[in-house]
Chains A and B, each alone.
Chain A
Amino acid sequence: METTKLPPSSPSSPTTSFSVPSAEKVDGFPRRSMRRARQRRSHSSSQFRYQSSQVELTPLPLLKDAPVAELHDLFCKKLQQCCVLFDFLDCVADLKGKEIKRAALNELVESVATSRGVLIEPLYPEAIKMISVNIFRTLPPSENPEFDPEEDEPTLEASWPHLQLVYEFFLRFLESPDFQPSMAKRYVDQKFVLQLLELFDSEDPREREYLKTILHRVYGKLLGLRAYIRKQINNIFLRFIYETEHFNGVAELLEILGSIINGFALPLKAEHKQFLVRVLIPLHTAKSLSIFHAQLAYCVVQFMEKDATVTEYIIRGLLKYWPKTCTQKEVMFLGEIEEILDVIEPSQFIRVQEPLFKQIAACISSPHFQVAERALYFWNNEYILSLIEENCQVILPLVFATLYRVSKEHWNQTIVSLIYNVLKTFMEMNSKLFDDLTASYKVEKQNPAVTLKK
């Protein structure tokens, strides 16, 4: 079985496709981009190889026509029929068989979604077997080793026409009013869940979307698996952070966690706090942060809303991992800080204000105007402004010198005018303090030795 779809080379034909008319080679580069438009490639996993011999499928009678007495038997036969796998890279291979399986899957989906009383106990192992055979596979190597989820087109799963229906069936199965967790838990076990979690690394976003919903349902219905699922997600994240820096499904897993955190009982267990401090906060260091930052920030804020005492861990954690060279990430961090400050308790704010505003001052003096701008926007936020006002005595001395200096030096006019507004706000808040600081700033500037002696 060939798994890649590059056109076969014909050794006899000389490669003319690369030669470029000399007129075009003025600068050595062809006028037209040589990089061939990236085709939407699709990929199929190696599982196909492990099927010993191809079985010829024959259509079975329709489920809706079956007499009640034979319905379960027929349902079971259809499930078994759907265990046959097809080669989707060869798009013309065994079209008849593919169509029979597709039709059968459609029928199964519909049946489980609409009719009551279909899901009886003997069908559970058969259904889970069919799902496992179809979805569990070693994901293929990425076609593009430097795959950048933001720039590149993902490689799509070739067998999606069948796979989608299998996922759909699984979802309907879990959501069916007849679904009995007590029966399912014998087949949807730890090993099953582990394999399900590994699939989140799929490059195909459609697959990850299904997985997200499905895992959410599993977490919701099979209570015995919850701790295990959390632990395995932990492991996936730790591996992502400290070992591989590569996992396609981080955003999806975080989205599920967001709602899991929402349901945590109070007081927070040590396990959950550890997850926050040792997994969620370090996730901020990832190179690909932008892909899952929204979901991550949501999780962090959820934690704070649950239990305000974690605020200090969070802010100090973010300050520890504050980006040093990547301004794009710095803007994301500032966004997250604002989300956090939006819900922070004033008592917690006091605990972190010093290191936090030192960092904010550093951001304001960033030569990158987007960073400075993002930091200065904090003063447009009513709630943050009220916190600053209450603690003006501490905060103003921390940021004053920076504001004063940057207002004179920054190359970007927008920043300069934003700073004027901030200075004006401070002046109105506490004119006495403001004047004192202005005076001492000027003295220090004229006589740097005073600062040194201090």
Chain B
Amino acid sequence: AAEEGGPCQSKMAGADGDDSLYPIAVLIDELRNEDVQLRLNSIKKLSTIALALGVERTRTELLPFLTDTIYDEDEVLLALAEQLGNFTMLVGGPEYVHCLLPPLESLATVEETVVRDKAVESLRKISQEHSPVDLEVHFEPLVKRLASGDWFTSRTSACGLFSVCYPRVSSTVKAEIRQHFRTLCSDDTPMVRRAAASKLGEFAKVLELDYVKSDIISLFTALASDEQDSVRLLAVEACVSIATLLPQEDLETLVMPTLRQAAEDKSWRVRYMVADKFSELQKAVGPEITKNDLVPAFQNLLKDCEAEVRAAAANKVKEFCENLPEDNREQIIMTHILPCVKELVSDTNQHVKSALASVIMGLSTILGKDNTIEHLLPLFLAQLKDECPEVRLNIISNLDCVNEVIGIRQLSQSLLPAIVELAEDAKWRVRLAIIEYMPLLAGQLGVEFFDEKLNTLCMAWLIDHVYAIREAATCNLMKLVEKFGAEWAQNTIVPKVLGMANDPNYLHRMTTLFCINVIVHCCGYPYREITTKQMLPVVLKMSNDQVANVRFNVAKSLQKIGPVLDSNALQTEVKPVLEKLASDTDMDVKYFAQEAISGECLSSSTIVDKLNT
């Protein structure tokens, strides 16, 4: 127990002998325990403590006590900051919510960013529960104190609080808030300017339009030409919100000069940000400016000297084209965008190519059948042959877009070698990725093409050297059976799977069992012939395998097959085998055999029996 009994402990910890408060006393004791984990647990149950103490003692005893613990470990503080955001009812409702401000104010000044951010989040939350009067009497002074704090942490936190109180205070206070925000935008410390820049858009949204024009624009312009690129790039984000707020006729003079400058910034980080936010910017400035300004800017970003910027821009190609004004969309794409895209297909950087490959197929719906065949198809084909597997995968994973426009057959000639190559890639993660697209491809290419060209691949994965691939291949089989039906499974899959039961490698023999487990599952009752006539005998025979792993997997499989067998088969065929396995020399085999025997299907009549009667 804590040596020094603070006011909190002596009064709160149920000294009056009230037993019902004993658990609370323990929690409170733990709030001051030496072990961080215990303190943390206790803080997380803070609402329970408060509830037990009642609103008044929470206000007068618990909160002051918590305000004193602000010097604790960051982890505890984080939990505290979060809890306090949900404490309004526990201190007596909105009328008393301002009691929560002192501890949160201290938390908003600590060094650790996550704690501070959480404190600001909670402050924003409870600001809504303040009455307009309380907001001016209690909350706004707190914001002002933070905004003029000595250390940068409090000023940083203040930046996030202006926008929540601004709409609900009097015009005099509003003017003060604007002034404080202005000051922070030109703060000495870049950390504070970054915080201000990141909240600029949000603050602009709650300001009256006149002040947006008079105040925000000048701040925006200043931040966008800050000496630090980390500040400038945040101004780009604000640009989106500001442009949305302003009437179209003001955009050209108030926003565009800054945006143009950002798109040409000497720091690649700023250009990257422009590329990254391009779709939002495009929507915010509207079709006319897009045509005149953004199209050339986008071309430049696609040709940027830094691969990072090109990749960010390449990611936006489809969205940008989609949102172009429809009247001359095709013309803009064909004359301005497509030439850049063509160059990116043979970019020197694989991230750029793979970013492009993830969206390029989307252009076909925008450009239509003829343009797709003439202009895009060669690009798809080139990317399908790209040396980087990720590029090829991205193309293959987006085939559905093209399928709708020109049909997948146009591509199948090139598709096949690409798939085969990915299927045999030396990196197992690449193989894993292509397996995941198999069901999709199978659906689009049709059963005939699949049987002819891809079936062998799917079977080959079953004997891959990496377990994850074999597992994925098994799962793939299940999806294929779901797609093509049980009859197809019976003719094409089952013979091959059962053939592996005699493989000299025990891993392959186990794969047979894993495959059977999923095929049984998806063929279901109507096709139980497949199970009883073809698969069950093989499974039963495998119970004599020399390798224990195979034997206990037989037991597991039998448990899975059980529900689709009739009780006759269960009693005469399955049960003896399981009983034999249950007396196996290997303890794992015994265990799983007993598991299977105690499973319901052997003891009572099965679903199959019920259906038969």
| Chain A interface residues toward B at CB < 8 A | 1-12, 14-15, 18-20, 25-30, 34, 46-50, 138, 140-141, 191, 194, 235, 238-239, 242-243, 278, 282, 320
Is B22 part of the binding interface, using a Cβ–Cβ cutoff of 8 Å? no
Chain A residues with CB under 8 Å of B308's CB are 141
CA of A18 to CA of B427, assembled, Å = 8
Q: Name the 6 nearest CB pairs between A and B, nearest first.
A: A28-B466, A28-B465, A138-B267, A1-B305, A9-B387, A141-B308
Among candidates B191, B348, B424, B427, residue contacting A243 with C-beta atoms closer than 8 Å: B191
Contact present for A278 and B151 (CB under 8 Å): yes
Given A28-B464, A141-B308, A278-B151: A19 touches B426 (CB 8 Å cut-off): yes
Contact present for A278 and B348 (CB under 8 Å): no
The B interface is mostly helix, strand or loop, or mixed, namely: loop
Contact present for B306 and A235 (CB under 8 Å): no
Contact present for A191 and B227 (CB under 8 Å): yes
CA of A5 to CA of B349, assembled, Å = 8
Chain A residues with CB under 8 Å of B425's CB are 18
Chain A residues with CB under 8 Å of B464's CB are 28
Contact present for A3 and B191 (CB under 8 Å): no
Report 5 cross-chain contacts, Cβ distance below 8 Å, ordered by A residue: A6-B348, A14-B417, A25-B465, A138-B268, A278-B111
CA of A138 to CA of B233, assembled, Å = 13
Chain A residues with CB under 8 Å of B465's CB are 25-28
Chain A residues with CB under 8 Å of B291's CB are none
Chain B residues with CB under 8 Å of A18's CB are 389, 425-427
CA of A243 to CA of B189, assembled, Å = 13
Contact present for B346 and A141 (CB under 8 Å): no
Chain A residues with CB under 8 Å of B348's CB are 2, 4-9
Interface 1/0s, chain B 545-560, versus A by CB < 8 A? Answer: 0000000000000000
CA of A18 to CA of B314, assembled, Å = 27
- What bracket does the count of chain B residues touching chain A fall in? 35 or more
Q: Specify the chain A residue showing the minimal Cβ separation from B303.
A: A1
Among candidates B73, B266, B385, residue contacting A46 with C-beta atoms closer than 8 Å: B266
Contact present for B385 and A2 (CB under 8 Å): no
Contact present for B350 and A49 (CB under 8 Å): no
Q: Specify the chain B residue showing the minimal Cβ separation from A25.
A: B465
Contact present for A4 and B268 (CB under 8 Å): no
Contact present for B266 and A9 (CB under 8 Å): no
Given A14-B385, A27-B465, A141-B268: A242 touches B306 (CB 8 Å cut-off): no
Given A14-B421, A18-B425: A9 touches B346 (CB 8 Å cut-off): yes
CA of A6 to CA of B349, assembled, Å = 7
CA of A18 to CA of B222, assembled, Å = 52
Contact present for A20 and B426 (CB under 8 Å): yes
Contact present for A34 and B227 (CB under 8 Å): no
CA of A15 to CA of B464, assembled, Å = 21
CA of A158 to CA of B312, assembled, Å = 25
Contact present for A34 and B426 (CB under 8 Å): yes
Chain B residues with CB under 8 Å of A5's CB are 348
Among candidates B306, B386, B424, residue contacting A9 with C-beta atoms closer than 8 Å: B386
CA of A10 to CA of B386, assembled, Å = 8
Contact present for A141 and B306 (CB under 8 Å): yes
Chain A residues with CB under 8 Å of B306's CB are 3, 46, 140-141
CA of A19 to CA of B230, assembled, Å = 44
Is B573 part of the binding interface, using a Cβ–Cβ cutoff of 8 Å? no
Chain B residues with CB under 8 Å of A47's CB are 266
CA of A27 to CA of B469, assembled, Å = 12
Chain A residues with CB under 8 Å of B73's CB are 320
Is B388 part of the binding interface, using a Cβ–Cβ cutoff of 8 Å? yes
Contact present for B469 and A235 (CB under 8 Å): no
* CB of A284, distance to nearest CB on chain B (Å): 13
* CB of B354, distance to nearest CB on chain A (Å): 12
Quick one: which of B160-205 are within 8 Å of A by CB?
Answer: 189-191, 194
CA of A311 to CA of B465, assembled, Å = 60
Contact present for A242 and B426 (CB under 8 Å): no
Q: Specify the chain B residue showing the minimal Cβ separation from A48.
A: B305
CA of A70 to CA of B48, assembled, Å = 87
Chain A residues with CB under 8 Å of B346's CB are 8-9, 11
Is B307 part of the binding interface, using a Cβ–Cβ cutoff of 8 Å? yes
Is B229 part of the binding interface, using a Cβ–Cβ cutoff of 8 Å? yes
Chain A residues with CB under 8 Å of B389's CB are 18
* CB of A288, distance to nearest CB on chain B (Å): 17
Contact present for A138 and B266 (CB under 8 Å): yes
Chain B residues with CB under 8 Å of A278's CB are 111, 151
Contact present for A28 and B469 (CB under 8 Å): yes
Beyond known contacts A14-B417, A243-B113: 8 more, CB 8 A cutoff: A8-B348, A9-B346, A25-B426, A25-B465, A46-B268, A191-B227, A242-B191, A282-B111
Chain B residues with CB under 8 Å of A20's CB are 426
* CB of A230, distance to nearest CB on chain B (Å): 13
* CB of B74, distance to nearest CB on chain A (Å): 9
Is B428 part of the binding interface, using a Cβ–Cβ cutoff of 8 Å? yes
Q: Specify the chain A residue showing the minimal Cβ separation from B266.
A: A138
Contact present for A46 and B305 (CB under 8 Å): yes
CA of A47 to CA of B306, assembled, Å = 11
Chain B residues with CB under 8 Å of A14's CB are 385, 417, 421
